[in-house]
Chains A and B, each alone.
Chain A
């Protein structure tokens, strides 16, 4: 994959891929709306959306399917972009929204609401958002020591996450009767999504997309190492903080709506990198598109495969995503945002971990 030594052909290849991705995104959206307990063909969809607005099927499409599919797409994009930014700034392929505490923060907030204040369940989204974002800030503050080394960020993120998870687990053990409510959130689920969720989500997706694309070159320059970046006039700490800020807003917005779907943020950037390469100019939009496609399709599978039961999207993500990820890993061609590489296409995931070091 991506063996082009001449970058011009690579660039036109990348643009083709992005356009094809947009096409696939539209196709996924169509499939996601068309399939379910009731099936629609394309003309039917058109008919019930625009013409027959009184029918029950109009309500199914407009009130249930559409917001759910759009949310799935937005959530996938947000998490994938967040993972992409974090892997880039930390020059580490294992970085993901989970690593900076987003999931554990949102998780604990949700557990507290569902178990201790079930009457406030309607506040889960804003409170999980605050929990997720707040945890990231704590992780960053703790990792700060005259500068924020990627390694310290990751380690403090892991420590804080396990600390908060212990809190969640304790609560769930004390109140086993209320755990049922929490499970949907903990695995990531798209049932009961409304337009309100879409409205809460799209500004973050759009804002994050625009901002990270503007800053893409600085992300690229960071790949050259902190010292080179400083020499080129990049305010490394400021840029790193900005990206962490953007990534955690994106991830917090997504996670607070659908629950802990963090795996998307880890694997989608890798898949995207495999397809479109390392350059953030292409990798960020590529991840956004691919994340949207994958979450929409996983949700579609989850709600059709064992009808009338529904498997949460998070479960499908992991069931299908993990083996596929491992397959790609074995096949070769995986690397982080990081380092050199003469043996093209034969890179393994461990490589990037060695890049986190600062001499």
Chain B
């Protein structure tokens, strides 16, 4: 298992946000966590990336206890793309991508030929080579998102955790970003765990879905088991009509109307 979490309880201070969540993610799968706002999706990702201490429960990354990882060693196995990274001024795209090599450098931080190869490869695959010398803050949202993904790729981590990688992007950039992540998953066997708000996108790209609600794991399964009228009604309080998108071999839902609580 690339990621295995057992009976996770997570929270901030005394407030528990995530309660008793267990997940099992085999290598090379593309999984998404979906659920309404405040259900604990991002909190879960933060804990898996060691940005939040685990209150109780255990996490294994590639079979090794998360607690026993050195931060730098972990960063060679797992890359995390936060929802809103700070965007510094006057840093070139290449500088940023080259920070992805930090996990592989020694304390002096000197890059070797092999590092530059990786940096160029990552920029190539995300199609940002033409921006290499541009200032990051002069790029559009979609281009920037590709830079962050390139940075995570340069990290050469097998596992990619992505927290809403398409938020703030227009539909075309959303599509290109997800296609890119999909390609990394299929062609380079990267394990992907992603938080997504758009359920149809989640259904289309994911092998497996986790549904969270009120901090608990409400359901899990392949998209056809999850994107169903009853589950969407229970979790998101909307009436929907689910149809099959045969071209992409996935379920697709159309919202019909809101459901009042308790009905």
Any A CB within 8 A of the CB of B245: no
Known: A214-B108, A220-B91. A233 touches B72 (CB 8 A): yes
Give every chain B residue within 8 A of A146 (Cβ-Cβ). 53
Any A CB within 8 A of the CB of B88: yes
Assembled-state Cα–Cα distance A340/B148 (Å): 14
Give every chain A residue within 8 A of B79 (Cβ-Cβ). 231
Any B CB within 8 A of the CB of A350: no
The stretch of A4-12, A48-56, A76-84 that contacts the partner chain: A4-12
Q: How many residues of A contact B (CB 8 A)?
A: 39
Give every chain B residue within 8 A of A338 (Cβ-Cβ). 86, 88
| B88-112 near A? 1/0 per residue, CB < 8 Å | 1111101110011011000111000
Any B CB within 8 A of the CB of A205: no
Assembled-state Cα–Cα distance A91/B259 (Å): 44
Any B CB within 8 A of the CB of A337: yes
Assembled-state Cα–Cα distance A220/B136 (Å): 14
The stretch of B43-51, B58-66, B211-219 that contacts the partner chain: B43-51
Assembled-state Cα–Cα distance A228/B152 (Å): 10
Known: A227-B49, A228-B82. A221 touches B99 (CB 8 A): yes
Q: Do the beta carbons of B89 and A341 come within 8 Å of each other?
A: yes
Give every chain B residue within 8 A of A226 (Cβ-Cβ). 51
Give every chain A residue within 8 A of B74 (Cβ-Cβ). 233
Assembled-state Cα–Cα distance A305/B109 (Å): 47
Assembled-state Cα–Cα distance A2/B90 (Å): 8
Q: Do the beta carbons of A337 and B88 come within 8 Å of each other?
A: yes
List 18 extra interface pairs beyond A7-B95, A232-B151, CB under 8 A. A6-B134, A7-B90, A7-B92, A7-B134, A91-B86, A214-B108, A214-B109, A221-B102, A225-B85, A226-B51, A227-B46, A228-B82, A230-B71, A230-B75, A232-B100, A233-B102, A338-B86, A344-B89
Q: Which residue numbers of A lie inside 8 Å of B, CB to CB? A: 2, 4-8, 10, 91, 146, 214, 217-218, 220-221, 223-228, 230-235, 277-279, 335, 337-342, 344, 355, 359
Q: Which residue numbers of B lie inside 8 Å of A, CB to CB? A: 46, 49-51, 53, 71-76, 78-82, 84-92, 94-96, 99-100, 102-103, 107-109, 133-135, 137-138, 151-152, 155
